[in-house]
Chains A and B, each alone.
Chain A
């Protein structure tokens, strides 16, 4: 007797400001179902983006992240939930059983240069010296590379699939790290926080002006990553026994 559910991938993403999770099922070729949870979301409209992940149904399994990012209009998605889901699609496409965990770190900094690094399953796989907030100084082949404007596609052209995946996850991390310097609990809404319009579900024109702060959702993982994503099994029965 085989498997009650061998074709499911559960994904999670957590930092100080966000905590999203999703369960993706597939038939070996395409995503067949997607359900999401948001234990910690920064703005009121963010909860509406959980159902939006249904747009991923039908997406072919692939190890090329840019194909999944192009599958639907990501501006109508939660950026962070969709990022996690992309990782889930890639994980499903590899067809390997088990867990892949990335831990990416940017020490608090006041001005560049600063370092950023990422571990895959406890082993460091990429480290950057940042020349500016969104520009890598070293090492090669990243030197001088901007962290915007087609970074994922560039990674896929230059790096092998495993290295490319780690690089774009680290890109997201560096991009988000500046938010630790913002006292979000003092912001009444997303506009005050500086959230850029029209980049995600919450910042669409019909929601941007009612994107009020969900207070009490901030955590400080600054001193330690202990506790991050440890309660995923409480939300996903599929994980029981894993």
Chain B
């Protein structure tokens, strides 16, 4: 129960450190800049009779 309460109390603080709001990033919880790229090539759809 104490752990849950502690996490709930910490959550707003976590939000405060993002994007340079933290005076010293090195002393803040570690977060990442992440960039995702995805390329999806369409597959040939199988035929209704399964003969594709």
Chain B residues, CB < 8 A from A181: 19-20, 25
Q: From the candidates B19, B45, B51, name the one contacting A180 in the complex (CB within 8 A).
A: B19
A14 within 8 A of B: yes
A54 within 8 A of B: no
Contact with A along B25-39 (1 / 0, CB 8 A): 110101111111111
Q: Which residue of A lies closest to B22 (CB)?
A: A108
Chain B residues, CB < 8 A from A99: 38-41
Q: Smallest CB–CB gap between A80 and chain B, Å?
A: 9
Give how many B residues have a beta carbon under 8 Å from the other chain's beta carbons: 30
**What is the CA–CA distance of A180 and B33 in the complex, to the nearest angstrom?**
7
A172 within 8 A of B: yes
Chain A residues, CB < 8 A from B28: 108
**What is the CA–CA distance of A12 and B36 in the complex, to the nearest angstrom?**
8
Contact with B along A26-47 (1 / 0, CB 8 A): 0000000000000000000000
Q: Do A228 and B52 touch across chains, with their CB atoms under 8 A apart?
A: no
Q: Do B36 and A101 touch across chains, with their CB atoms under 8 A apart?
A: yes
Q: Do B25 and A13 touch across chains, with their CB atoms under 8 A apart?
A: no
A126 within 8 A of B: no
Q: Smallest CB–CB gap between A78 and chain B, Å?
A: 14
Chain A residues, CB < 8 A from B1: none
Q: Which residue of A lies closest to B33 (CB)?
A: A177
B44 within 8 A of A: yes
Q: Do B37 and A101 touch across chains, with their CB atoms under 8 A apart?
A: yes
A193 within 8 A of B: no
**What is the CA–CA distance of A181 and B23 in the complex, to the nearest angstrom?**
11
Q: Which of A2-10, A134-142, A144-152, A202-210 contacts B (4 or more CB under 8 A)?
A: A2-10
Chain B residues, CB < 8 A from A90: 39
Q: Do B35 and A172 touch across chains, with their CB atoms under 8 A apart?
A: yes
B24 within 8 A of A: yes
Q: Do A104 and B21 touch across chains, with their CB atoms under 8 A apart?
A: no
Task: Name 19 extra pairs, CB < 8 A, besides A177-B33, A222-B34.
Answer: A2-B47, A3-B43, A9-B39, A10-B39, A10-B40, A10-B42, A14-B35, A99-B41, A101-B37, A103-B35, A103-B36, A107-B30, A169-B35, A176-B33, A180-B19, A222-B33, A223-B31, A225-B34, A229-B36
A residues sitting closer than 8 Å to B (CB atoms) are: 1-16, 83-84, 87-88, 90-92, 96-110, 169, 172-173, 176-177, 179-184, 218, 220-223, 225, 228-229, 232, 238-239, 241-242
B residues sitting closer than 8 Å to A (CB atoms) are: 14-15, 18-21, 24-26, 28, 30-45, 47-48, 51-52
Task: Please list 9 pairs of residues, one from A and one from B, whose beta carbons are closer than 8 Å in the complex, sorted by A's number.
Answer: A1-B51, A9-B42, A11-B37, A11-B40, A13-B38, A14-B35, A181-B20, A183-B19, A221-B34
